Structure 1
């Protein structure tokens, strides 16, 4: 098979959908090594919503995450608290009744301004996961 034909065949087999880019710096951080498997799963589930233009408008509401395979609302909330505490995500909008969910942003990307958010880009804790833990 000629090289050009192999290249075209390989391209047809690639996924053309959205993907999550998690920098090696995040993977290699001490905080990443300390978080639980459920927190890693939530980080991936939240991060997969990012499309390059919507950081800060990411959701981890029970109704959304249940469809992604989460089986316990308590486990989801524990994982969310863990990610918030480690600085991998930041809350950008506080949820309110009757049906306004909280929104989050991944902190290895800058916040994308949006009228739905409660915070401004300058207040977003970009790189919070890098900050050393307090003893």
Structure 2
């Protein structure tokens, strides 16, 4: 008879954003500002295990809970990209040709593999994680 593995933490059966311990003690994470950590977690809550590369980060998606203005969001995203914790997978396109709508930029977390996201026109190919742990 197989033994059922019991976890020490009950996640409630929902999705879980895994932040590896090696990431949490890495200097790239340790040196982040509080606003960048907040954006990273809010960006990561959209990750479902199959959509890395298709994570949007707009002022409206960040408005849940404590809001964030566009300048603060832009500087936090730039800080996360510079730290190597996220990568932009599609540039934003203002005045896009498709149906006359603009398209937002998309991102991926770098400690997980980038997924194939059909129809999203990603500029980064699907592939293995790119974050370098020490």
Q: 2:94 aligns with which of 89, 92, 97?
A: 97
Deviations 1:94-122 (CA, angstroms, capped at 9, x unpaired):
11023200000000001001231122125
Aligned residue for 2:89, secondary structure, equals: strand
Counterparts of residues 1-135 of structure 1 (less than 5 Å): 15-98=12-95, 99-115=102-118, 116=120, 117-122=122-127, 126-127=130-131, 130=133
Go from structure 1 to structure 2 and tell me whether the alpha carbon gap of 1:81 and 1:109 turns closer, same or farther (over 3 Å shift). Answer: same
Deviations 1:65-90 (CA, angstroms, capped at 9, x unpaired):
12342232111111111001000000
After the TM superposition, which of the residue ranges 104-113 and 68-77 deviates more from structure 2?
68-77
CA distance in 2, matches of 1:48, 1:109: 14
CA distance in 1, matches of 2:11, 2:124: 38
**Unpaired segments ≥5 residues, structure 2:** 1-5, 96-101
> Size of the alignment, in residue pairs?
119
The TM-score, its normalising length taken from structure 1, stands at 0.78
CA RMSD, 1 decimal: 2.3
Larger radius of gyration: 1
Tell me the CA shift for residue 21 of structure 1.
Answer: 0.4
Deviations 1:22-81 (CA, angstroms, capped at 9, x unpaired):
000100101111110110111100111110100000010112112342232111111111
The TM-score, its normalising length taken from structure 2, stands at 0.79
